[in-house]
Amino acid sequence: MTGYEPRPIDPAALGELRATDDADRPCRPFTPDEGGHPLRCCLRGSEPGERIALVSYAPLRRWAAATGASPGAYDEQGPVFIHAEACAGPDPEREGYPFSRPGALRTVRRYGAHGRIVGGRLLEIPAEEAKGFDAALDEAFADPEVALVHVRAVEYGCFHFEVLRP
């Protein structure tokens, strides 16, 4: 079990993304032969033959709309994989942090209640993955200005999941 709750994309947002993504493009599902695509709807890798879609997602924009924040230039969108149809979401029995493997690089980007970046750090995931993430998130939330953290892949800049202040 993790010390923080990694949050998938909200089901209401997923419904919208499955029609038109945050770049105003229609969703174009496909069925890859291989698995392993990081699904942000259920926080796991895809299985071979699952129908998925690659959509543009603006996580900070959606959070800001719900909270009244104004991210300004920090509003960005990027590619994420989702199931093409509604899914059950993350497995409640799942342990650890999603898309975590020792040696992988992640950015832990911190945002204040106003919606702008207030810091961040690079995390090389250690052998004890959960402890590494917990320490990085403890550090982030030690700053009382931090309201939200985004975890992203370094290689592609892809959004992986968010964590709200506990």
pLDDT tens, residue order, the chain (166 aa): 468 999 999 999 999 999 999 999 999 999 999 999 999 999 999 999 999 999 999 999 999 999 999 999 999 999 999 999 999 999 999 889 999 999 999 999 999 999 999 999 999 999 999 999 999 999 999 999 999 999 999 988 889 999 999 9
Each domain of the chain, given as residue ranges in start order, spans: 11-83, 105-164
Residues 35 and 46: their CA atoms lie apart, in Å, by 5
Say which DSSP state 67 is in.
H
Buried b or exposed e, range 112-144, using 16+ CB within 10 angstroms: bebbbebebeebebeeebbebbeebbeebbeee
| H/E stretch holding 136 | helix 129-141
Tokens of residue 25, six digits? 């493009």
**Largest Cα span, the chain:** 46
Within 8 A by CB and 6+ apart from 48, the residues are 32, 33, 34, 35
For residue 1, the model assigns a pLDDT of 45
Structure tokens of 63?
Answer: 């959070």
Collapse the DSSP code of 33 into the 3-class scheme (helix H, G, I; strand E, B; otherwise coil) and give the result: coil
Dist. CA 34–CA 152, nearest whole Å: 23
Dihedrals phi, psi of 77, to nearest 5 degrees: -130, 155
Beta strands in the chain (DSSP E): 38-39, 44-45, 52-57, 78-83, 105-112, 117-124, 146-153, 159-164
